Structure 1
């Protein structure tokens, strides 16, 4: 009799609720499936796409004989990135050969790491379904293009995703490892691209809100944020060289990356344009499900930490900060500099959707099915439509 009573609540659950609970019980299922599909698409594109000018510059600098030569080239403003990015690329090509896939392997890994960290960040606070949505959103935006481009943007995104996850864990019990991870990941991101300095802003804002929530300042976190900025001292000569070059070029009205309001709006639009159709389909599916079977009653939704919501919102607004700084300093402004805004969009979208999951499991599963379906379709299209290009090692321009 008692067993029947215990089974009764489970028996009354809908199929959608049981599937949702299955996802919660098997938390590694989605990351595993996502990894397979993502790697198939990204690796195919990386192996087949021809290198463009900036990637050729990456290849040349990474193949210089000694690390001192890389530093000397960057000191002459041969390229606008710190040396760690070229060192990582050098390791990749030395281990896996000079093919275009090996050259772009770190970027593939970076965007993959970002999606997994977003999954972990959101799933720990909301649900596995919400975490899955957060992981899928970057792969459905322009961020995916930078997963197979031999430039530092994919690497920086991955390191930032790791920093976010470590910052979240640092506010809980797992302190030592999380604090170390926060410091190392942010420092490494800064050593790959100078614009990673803007990534301190959302984390610092989130930490300020968290301090107000808890009524006290978490000194170790602030020490880690300060320590992560340490590489600036070593990179000052390179930063001075690239700043001087950028200032001269940026004052020319013909400079293609001049920060204008048109460029800002256009960058936002291009960044999220691939997500428009999936978003419309998601809204249509949600509306249809609500019309077919309206929700009854009220379900208490656990409030999300205000500090993490603040991080997401600041990330979405970060392009305006980057734009303002670029205007003042005569620096360049382009879409790839505002890629972290997608992280904020993914977090906000997942957190908002989580409030629907609490009331309707079928809505959550429908959203996941739509986004994952588009992800698979886009991946299949890229795999089928790409044509093999000349391998990197056979490109005489690069060999000579």
Structure 2
């Protein structure tokens, strides 16, 4: 496969043809891969599993595949089975370490970055727009999911390859290449659907963009529509499983409009993300002011690097703005609460496209400054991370340790309970979780939800409410200082329940059941 370059309109514009890589591209990808692997691998090695990752752990480590399938139907997760089958295979090869469970996500997210790089070189036509596309997903808040033992990284990787395929369905390409691109589009989007059902949201955004293109050109690309509809076949295949999974009530009890702004802040708020976006914004302002101050700018200074095709600029707005806002409105209208940042991760692709557009307007001189700044940020993060200890950081136990009565049970929520039992086991024998207390509402059927993980012999045991209250009139209650726990905290305060410990995250109460009788 050869690289076909179009004649550049100015000396600093570099364009790529089909999917070939020149030496600069190879060096860029190699250096990025190194700077990507250091912080992502460090996070995968050092960060303890949290609740959702422990669900992955219990599903994957079921003794038999039949048991895994039962947990998929009745357990707390609501994802397709392919992710768990792949993780089971990886863990079987590399062992049950944190990084092995997270390896699929690490590779999938890396594939997203490389796919966006190819896309940036294809539609942005310069090395700087390609670099922007390569780096944006890593430095923003969504980069957290590059090292989480969940299906989001794999889903995003497949989505990225699908976007590249979509970009190469171009009349300027040979018919054979176009057919391959259509096949790649349909197969990768279908594979993304096999990893997570909610990839249907960004696929729906692609439907809107293709509809816009159809309206603008007055030409219907039937093969493209067929490829864009391919994921529906995977959804239909998994529909019986999804129907069973959907019977489990969703964990969130309420939904606030402010969560929409919180999502955007979460996405851009990491220090690396703020530094990256500030760099682009400052250079863009300097570039604009510099052009206005010169009456006779040189050709290189006046020539923008590149402009994004209108379909991709439109897709950027739809993914970044339409996807989160539209999903929030839909949830509010339907009375559902399924709004959380991890369901809206494809919005980072929209952010990438819009930042590419901004950088594409810069002169070559200022674009080079952006590139230098990006490499500096990545190198600084990799150096700082690489110097940190490469060892697992265990969950904190100060909230359940050194309490006045060491023989009194300590009641914690399911998140803390599963973490502590996974990492400390019998070292904290007084720590318990009572089903239905300090947790979100769960179905009455004991074979559903959290109770289903008891089918895994490694899972810790929950206490039955009636038996626990009969056996213990007095126990400690550990309350997390979050919105969902405020009701319980207010209730305990009205009872006058004494606080015996306060930490950064928790309040510990000394509760007597007889006080409310």
Q: TM-score, normalised by structure 2?
A: 0.66
| Deviation string, structure 1 residues 79-131 (Cα, Å, up to 9, x no partner) | 12111111111121122222211110111111111111111111112212101
Whole-angstrom distance in 1 between the partners of 2:365 and 2:112: 27
Residue aligning to 1:5: none
CA distance in 2, matches of 1:230, 1:20: 37
What is the rounded CA distance, in whole Å, between the counterparts of 2:389 and 2:365 in structure 1?
A: 36
CA contact (8 A) 1:136 1:372 kept: no
Contact 2:304 2:361 in 1 (8 A): no
Matched, 1:389 2:392: yes
SS, match of residue 195 in structure 2: coil
Q: Secondary structure at the match of 2:88?
A: helix
Q: What does residue range 311-390 of structure 1 map to in structure 2 within 5 Å?
A: 311-317=315-321, 318-327=323-332, 328=334, 330-356=336-362, 360-389=363-392
In 1, are the aligned partners of 2:166 and 2:182 still within 8 Å (CA)? yes
Query: Which stretch has the larger CA shift, 154-163 or 271-280?
Result: 271-280
- Partner of 2:308 in structure 1? 304
Which has the higher Rg, Structure 1 or Structure 2?
2
Task: Give the number of the structure whose residues are more often strand, by fraction.
Answer: 2
* Residue range with higher mean Cα deviation, 369-378 or 287-296: 287-296
Deviation at 1:70? 2.4
Q: Give the alignment partner of residue 240 of structure 1, picking from 228, 239, 243.
A: 243
1:270 aligns with 2:266: yes
Secondary structure at the aligned position of 1:170 is classed as coil
Q: Kindly report the root-mean-square deviation, in angstroms, between the aligned alpha carbons of the 2 structures.
A: 2.9
> In structure 2, what is the equivalent of residue 259 of structure 1?
255
Q: Report the alpha carbon displacement of residue 71 of structure 1 after superposing the two structures with TM.
A: 2.4
Query: Which residue is equivalent to 1:3?
Result: none
* Residue 203 of structure 2 is aligned to residue 175 of structure 1: no
Q: For the structure 1 residues 288 and 312, does the alpha-carbon distance in structure 2 shift closer, same or farther, using more than 3 Å as the test?
A: closer
Uncovered stretches (5+) of structure 2, i.e. residues with no partner: 1-9, 395-418, 426-455, 459-517
Residue equivalent to 2:91? 93
User: Is the alpha carbon distance of 1:277 and 1:166 closer, same or farther for their aligned partners in structure 2, counting shifts above 3 Å?
Assistant: same
SS at match of 1:244: coil
Q: What is the CA distance between 1:287 and its match in structure 2?
A: 4.4
Q: Secondary structure at the match of 1:28?
A: helix
Asked which structure has the greater RCO (Cα within 8 Å, sep 6+), the reply is 1
* Partner residue in 1 for 2:224: 221
Of 54-63 and 171-180, the range deviating more from structure 2: 171-180
The alpha-carbon distance between structure 1 residues 193 and 160, as it changes in their structure 2 partners (threshold 3 A), is same
Give yes or no for contact 1:118–1:161 (8 Å, CA) kept in 2.
yes
Aligned residue for 2:406?
Answer: none
Question: Aligned-pair distance for 1:28?
Answer: 2.1
Q: Out of 201, 209, 212, which is 2:212 matched to?
A: 209
The Cα shift of 1:201 comes to: 1.6
Alignment partners' CA distance in 2, 1:323 and 1:70: 33
The residue aligned with 1:149 is: 148
For the 8 Å contact 2:169–2:178, the answer to whether it is kept is yes
Structure 1 counterpart SS, 2:242: helix
SS of the residue corresponding to residue 168 of structure 2 reads helix
Counterpart of 1:140 in structure 2 is 139
Deviations 1:22-49 (A, max 9, x none): x976222211110111012211221121
Distance 2:31 2:338 in 1: 38
* Preserved CA contact (<8 Å) 1:57 1:79: yes
Aligned to 2:62: 64
Question: TM-score, structure 1 length as denominator?
Answer: 0.85
1:123 — aligned with what? 121
Q: Aligned partners of 1:120, 1:144: CA distance in 2, in Å? A: 19
Cα deviation, residue 374, structure 1: 1.4
State the shift of 1:325 in Å. 2.8
Shift of 1:19: 11
Unpaired runs of at least 5, structure 1: 1-11
